[in-house]
């Protein structure tokens, strides 16, 4: 079974984000970049399915040259091949343009199943996976926390949590699945895996290589435009409710909730 995992590189969630001077972007000079956490679950699930059914796992990433590091991490985890779509014209592209480039690259590959994180932890849009599935004209199964591929490798059954219950969906393959936390526990790359990753096949594509028009990408072609980025307002310092007894503290808390917070 041949599986593709779409990978995005995002700022480490522990990185302090600063708004750029233009008010529409972030300062990237000191950012530590990592594999999108939701994509890690896609890599892990792909590897588990490969271990059961055989086949290959191909990682497809998009962005500047630094994305190679995250793709190599996935290869060190056990994936077989890597591909980076990198082109200056991609800078500033929105989710639809990103999906167009990824779908164009995937069309050239042999696949039975595609994994994508259910969202990126940076822009939090959560639409790239759905757009890829639409462009490839295959079923899309979103926000999944359990995957079961049929023994004949022709269909898949997945679980999607919904409020108070679980939605069980069956689909023929090929299909695209967007993954979320709870699906699995991603493995760490071993030292032998890191060494082997350096010798695994790795391809790099530009938009022209994929037969795409650069005019459809970048800041000028965005359908969704960023008007302004602002940091969240600073939080006020907390208050300690004074009192000699629990009763006095409870009365003081109730007064604050009524007079200041105005929630009771």
C-alpha count within 13 angstroms, C-beta hemisphere, residue 57:
28
Q: Is residue 228 part of a domain?
A: no
Helix %, strand %, coil % for the chain, to 5?
A: 30, 25, 45
Please tell me the distance from the alpha carbon of residue 180 to that of residue 183, in angstroms, as a whole number. Answer: 6
251 phi, psi to nearest 5 deg? -65, -40
Residues 180 and 251 in one domain: no
Does position 13 have pLDDT exceeding 90, yes or no?
Answer: no
* 249 Cβ neighbours under 8 A, 6+ residues apart: 241, 242, 243
Please report the pLDDT score of residue 15 as a whole number.
87
Residues 104 and 208 in one domain: yes
Residues 134 and 166 in one domain: yes
CB neighbours (10 Å) of residue 194? 14
Largest CA distance in the chain: 75
Q: Is residue 227 part of a domain?
A: no
Residues 97 and 56 in one domain: yes
Please report the pLDDT score of residue 209 as a whole number.
97
Residues 62 and 174 in one domain: yes
For residues 180-208, average pLDDT: 95
Please report the pLDDT score of residue 234 as a whole number.
84
Q: Is residue 175 part of a domain?
A: yes
Please report the pLDDT score of residue 262 as a whole number.
87
For residues 63-78, average pLDDT: 97
Does position 235 have pLDDT exceeding 90, yes or no?
Answer: no
Q: Is residue 245 part of a domain?
A: yes
Residues 195 and 256 in one domain: no
**Cα 100-103-106 angle, rounded to 5 deg:** 155
Does position 205 have pLDDT exceeding 90, yes or no?
Answer: yes
Residues 244 and 116 in one domain: no
Residues 167 and 241 in one domain: no
Residues 239 and 126 in one domain: no
Token pair for 103: 């779908």
What rounded mean pLDDT belongs to the chain?
Answer: 94
How many angstroms separate the first and last alpha carbons of the chain? Answer: 58
Please report the pLDDT score of residue 100 as a whole number.
97
Name the 3-class secondary structure at 203: strand
Please report the pLDDT score of residue 34 as a whole number.
95
Residues 177 and 238 in one domain: no
Please report the pLDDT score of residue 5 as a whole number.
98
Please report the pLDDT score of residue 16 as a whole number.
86
Please report the pLDDT score of residue 17 as a whole number.
86
Does position 239 have pLDDT exceeding 90, yes or no?
Answer: no
Please report the pLDDT score of residue 202 as a whole number.
97
Domain interval for residue 7? 2-221
C-alpha count within 13 angstroms, C-beta hemisphere, residue 142:
13
Count of structural domains, the chain = 2
């Amino acid at each position: 079974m041949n599986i593709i995992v779409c990978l995005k590189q995002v700022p480490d969630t522990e990185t302090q984000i600063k708004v750029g001077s233009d008010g529409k972007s972030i300062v990237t000079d000191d950012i530590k970049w990592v594999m999108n956490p939701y994509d890690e679950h896609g890599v892990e699930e792909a590897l588990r399915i490969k271990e059961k059914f055989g086949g290959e796992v191909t990682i497809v990433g998009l962005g500047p040259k630094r994305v190679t590091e995250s793709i190599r991490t996935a290869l060190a985890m056990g994936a077989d091949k890597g591909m980076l779509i990198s082109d200056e014209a991609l800078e500033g592209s929105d989710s639809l343009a990103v999906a167009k480039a990824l779908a164009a690259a995937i069309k050239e590959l042999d696949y039975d199943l595609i994994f994508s994180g259910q969202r990126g932890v940076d822009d939090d849009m959560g639409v790239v996976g759905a757009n890829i599935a639409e462009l490839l004209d295959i079923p899309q199964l979103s926000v999944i926390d359990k995957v079961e591929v049929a023994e004949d490798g022709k269909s898949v059954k997945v679980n999607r949590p919904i409020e108070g219950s679980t939605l069980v969906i069956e689909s023929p393959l090929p299909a695209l699945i967007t993954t979320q936390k709870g699906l699995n526990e991603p493995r760490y790359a071993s030292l032998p895996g890191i060494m082997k990753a350096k010798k695994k096949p790795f391809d790099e594509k530009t938009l022209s290589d994929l037969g795409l028009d650069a005019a459809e990408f970048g800041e000028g072609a965005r359908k969704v435009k960023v008007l302004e980025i602002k940091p969240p307002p600073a939080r006020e310092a907390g208050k300690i409710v004074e009192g000699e007894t629990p009763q006095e503290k409870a009365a003081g808390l109730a007064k604050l909730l009524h007079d200041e917070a105005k929630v009771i």
